[in-house]
Amino acid sequence: MRIDVVTLFPEMFRGFLDGSLLGAAQAAGLLDIRLTNIRDFATGVHRQVDDRPYGGGPGMLLMPGPVVECVESVLADAAAGTAPHVAMLTPAGRPLTQQVAEELAGRDRLILLCGRYEGFDQRVADTLLPDQISIGDYVLSGGEVAAMVVIDAVARLIPGVLGDEQSAADDSFSGTERLIEGPQYTRPREFRGLKVPDVLLSGDHSRIAAWRREQALDATHRRTTLSAHFSGAHTPAG
């Protein structure tokens, strides 16, 4: 799988991409990640990529020219028949979920478009008609961190990237039910008086599977309740 990142800050990705899992995946030829700087497509002596919004308002917007030309140059570097999937990172996008990550991992080529400043001129989306993805209902100072989140979630789903292929299938939010994984234990059998549940030491695989499922249902239910509890706690009514 090839992922192209279109960004004004390629250097933000270096340590992340060289890190263990992604570094190994790239070295093994499972993943080919390339960085392209929008600034390289800026024109004029000042290589300007942003400007003030028409109609007034705070901040600066990315101008459509350099962004669209940058993405088009990356698109042009595609063999016939392998049209890359273009995804723009924006808080206005569809929420990133495990299901969306699975869908993206099924593509041969992905282009991730990162914004900065107050966002993109609307004509970037109107021209490229990208998939738009948000990593959550909060505003980051740019799409780079969001793109790293997408890359991480997608890369570990590519066959061979995780050592044990089963491990992604067992994760939280996987499978048809998309349950949260229940608690897991390793050695020691007892830590500060806290014991590993007996069932896990029983060697009875069907009992273990039944217990894990029950725990997963519980964890999933508990999180739904927790989320309601904490949102409620922050309202003025308390």
The number of residues that bind ligand ADE (CB under 6 A) is 12
Of the two residues 90 and 174, which places its CB atom closer to ligand ADE in the complex?
A: 90
Which of 28-36, 43-51, 100-108, 128-136 is the region at the interface with ligand ADE (rule: CB under 6 A)? Answer: 128-136
Rule CB under 6 A: choose which of 90, 109, 125, 157 binds ligand ADE: 90
Of the two residues 23 and 136, which places its CB atom closer to ligand ADE in the complex?
A: 136
125 binds ligand ADE (CB under 6 A): no
91 is catalytic: yes
118 is catalytic: yes
Binding mask 130-159 for ligand ADE (x = CB under 6 A): ----xxx-xxx--x--x-------------
Q: Name the minimum Å distance from CB 112 to ligand ADE.
A: 10
Of the two residues 152 and 181, which places its CB atom closer to ligand ADE in the complex?
A: 152
171 is catalytic: yes
Compute the distance between CA of residue 169 and CA of residue 72 in angstroms, rounded to an integer: 35
Compute the distance between CA of residue 219 and CA of residue 214 in angstroms, rounded to an integer: 9
Cβ contact 85:126 at 8 Å: no
The active-site residue out of 102, 103, 118, 218 is 118
The active-site residue out of 102, 103, 171, 218 is 171
Phi-psi region of 180 (alpha: psi -120 to 50; beta: other; left: phi over 0): beta
Q: Name the minimum Å distance from CB 62 to ligand ADE.
A: 12
232 to 51, 56, 228, 236: CA distances (angstroms): 40, 36, 6, 9
The active-site residue out of 34, 91, 102, 103 is 91
Residue type at position 229: H
How does DSSP assign 109-174, residue by residue?
Answer: EEEEEE-BTT-B-HHHHHHH--EEEESSSS--SBHHHHHHHHHHHHHTTSTTTSSSTHHHHTSTT-
Give the closest residue to 1 by CA, choosing from 41, 36, 40, 28: 28
Q: Name the minimum Å distance from CB 151 to ligand ADE.
A: 13
Compute the distance between CA of residue 73 and CA of residue 119 in angstroms, rounded to an integer: 21
Cβ contact 63:124 at 8 Å: no
Report, as residue numbers or ranges, the catalytic residues: 91, 118, 156, 171
> Applying CB under 6 A, which residues contact ligand ADE?
89-91, 115, 134-136, 138-140, 143, 146
